[in-house]
């Protein structure tokens, strides 16, 4: 699935995560709550994000296959990065008093 693509869509996700819209209805909102609980939700190390994704997915779908397949560069990880980037950018643009957060997001 990796194949060098830089943009993924939900259709690139494993079917188990697309069932019943788990990805958009449960996993992404849970991930957002997790990120919001961090001391600095604007800067999340990649390995922390991978661990959180594995934890969330295993809780949502205990029958999910290979959790080791959730890693940097794979569609799951890339889609989460795209999602978080859009959330953070929209927040920064909506609330300009957050300082230079928008430029930090774009610099990533």
Residues near 13 by beta carbon (within 8 Å), at least 6 away in sequence = 23, 75, 76, 79
Dump pLDDT digits (tens) for 34-62. Answer: 999 999 888 899 999 999 999 999 999 99
* Structural contact between residues 2 and 74, judged by C-beta atoms closer than 8 angstroms: yes
C-alpha atoms less than 13 angstroms from C-alpha of 26 in its C-beta half-sphere = 14
Rg (the chain; Cα; Å):
14
| Token pair in block for residue 1 | 């699935």
pLDDT digit string, tens, across residues 72-97: 999 999 999 999 999 988 887 887 66
Domain boundaries defined on the chain:
10-107
């Amino acid at each position: 699935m990796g194949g060098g693509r830089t943009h993924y869509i939900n259709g690139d996700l494993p079917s188990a995560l697309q069932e019943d819209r788990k990805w958009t209805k449960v996993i992404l909102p849970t991930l957002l709550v997790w990120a919001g609980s961090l001391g600095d939700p604007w800067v999340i190390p990649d390995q922390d994000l991978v661990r959180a994704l594995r934890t969330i997915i295993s809780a949502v779908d205990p029958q999910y296959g290979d959790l080791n397949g959730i890693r940097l560069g794979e569609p799951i990880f890339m889609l989460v990065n795209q999602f978080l980037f859009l959330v953070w950018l929209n927040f920064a643009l909506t609330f300009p008093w957050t300082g230079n957060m928008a430029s930090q997001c774009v610099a990533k």
